[in-house]
Structure 1
């Protein structure tokens, strides 16, 4: 503390003689408040529960639209709307023309370089362009790659028997795959390959406009319905894709390796027939 000067000491002494007992203290101005930015504790965990949106950090964020929670199956998926979409009452000739145009596009497709370089030919689809029922499989195998027709190998022969047991012929339905090229060594299609070919699948669905779709195996079911669920969890019930009711069941190639699975597949087929108001010939 600094020692007062002699003049200051004399001034204080004069004030004391005048009866001054203390000096008034000057008022200190309150400090200006400085806004502090809101921070998030590094140990705090965000609330990821879909039904409880996270609390906004600022009022402005409250006005921002939040993304909806992902749907839970069973779910109604939007109908495909590709460029070659045809009216629901289009004639057989119109549908045949549209399918031929789409098949020509597929024949020249090189979106998947590996598949395009190893295929013998593309395998588009066969059957009734106005079928009530569409069958979707995984991908062409060696026999399909050689002939250009889906489901003609051992698994295809078993599928034909299932079709006939339902009282149909192959010409009554429409048959195609997730992929239109054979993957090397018959491996499972990759996500990129399925995505590259999805426009063609959606085109076929839009042109044929089936009332019912049967997904044979996990690959077909998971790609069409955008799910990761196993086929065992998806079967025995219907899903909705556009206007089509979708039934999922085991792939015929799985039945060749596991004959016991033929019974649940037949139960699925009877479920389909009942939904269509039909009965199998053997019933």
Structure 2
């Protein structure tokens, strides 16, 4: 298994060793991080971006070439496609938060190793605790493994809701997968319509002061 039970619980808010009080504080720590070898081969650490009070959060795998150069997640081809999907689904990008499992670009855009993921996930865990989103969308296999199921297969679980520690997850394919295989566009569009419906429902209940 990628993570043992204790490590999975730590990700979702149960007695962390240290709790950061703001994203700015966490960002400063993260940008200075060199706990794994990825930092030696990338331009910079790419911290998450978006609404600090977002109720909807997207999590990808890691920075690519464009993200590594600009220091912002999802600004390359996959990021531009994600922007188009959000716009088409009428989800305001300014209201969401976007991050990755690892914050440094793996050489050649390879998948991060198990150890690299385990070393870096503490940053994402703190992002989630600070932002406190109700809905989290793991984008792709690496995000699924890091957030929910170390042995999970994205082809088996995409489009299915998972509740964990009071948060709701709906895994779907990473936008980069759509660039390689157009057949994935239809199921991803279906997933985003599901996300939009659930997000709107939550915002309505929240505005009415009702617990979800």
What TM-score results when the alignment is normalised by the length of structure 2? 0.85
Q: Per the alignment, in what secondary structure is the counterpart of residue 219 of structure 1?
A: helix
Q: Per the alignment, in what secondary structure is the counterpart of residue 249 of structure 1?
A: coil
Residue 109 of structure 1 corresponds to 33
Residue 133 of structure 2 corresponds to 210
CA contact (8 A) 1:77 1:242 kept: no
Name the CA distance, whole Å, in 1 between partners of 2:198 and 2:105: 33
Residue 84 of structure 1 corresponds to 19
CA contact (8 A) 1:77 1:240 kept: no
- Is structure 2 residue 88 aligned with structure 1 residue 165? yes
How far is 1:117 from its partner? 1.1
Residue 60 of structure 1 corresponds to none
- In structure 2, stretches of 5+ residues that fail to align are 202-212
Q: Deviations over 1:81-139 (max 9, x none)?
A: 432265xxxxxxxxxxx111111111111111x21111111000100011110000000
Taking the TM superposition and a 5 Å limit, the aligned residue runs for 1:21-170 are 79-81=12-14, 82=16, 83-84=18-19, 98-112=22-36, 114-170=37-93
Among 218, 229, 233, which residue is 2:156 paired with?
A: 233
Q: Deviations over 1:219-244 (max 9, x none)?
A: 00111013312101111211123221
How far is 1:169 from its partner? 3.0
Taking a change above 3 Å as real, the CA distance of residues 135 and 101 of structure 1, as seen in their structure-2 partners, is same
Name the CA distance, whole Å, in 2 between partners of 1:232 and 1:125: 26
Q: Deviations over 1:34-79 (max 9, x none)?
A: xxxxxxxxxxxxxxxxxxxxxxxxxxxxxxxxxxxx99xxxx9973
Name the CA distance, whole Å, in 2 between partners of 1:124 and 1:171: 16
- Is structure 2 residue 196 aligned with structure 1 residue 273? yes
Residue 193 of structure 1 corresponds to 116
Taking a change above 3 Å as real, the CA distance of residues 78 and 102 of structure 1, as seen in their structure-2 partners, is closer
How many pairs does the alignment contain?
193
Coordinate RMSD, CA, aligned: 1.9
Q: Per the alignment, in what secondary structure is the counterpart of residue 149 of structure 1?
A: coil
Larger radius of gyration: 1
Q: Per the alignment, in what secondary structure is the counterpart of residue 174 of structure 1?
A: strand
Residue 264 of structure 1 corresponds to 187
Q: Deviations over 1:156-199 (max 9, x none)?
A: 00000111112123211000000000000000000100000111
Taking a change above 3 Å as real, the CA distance of residues 234 and 154 of structure 1, as seen in their structure-2 partners, is same
CA contact (8 A) 2:173 2:188 kept: yes
CA contact (8 A) 1:124 1:149 kept: yes
Name the CA distance, whole Å, in 2 between partners of 1:237 and 1:77: 23
Name the CA distance, whole Å, in 1 between partners of 2:12 and 2:43: 32
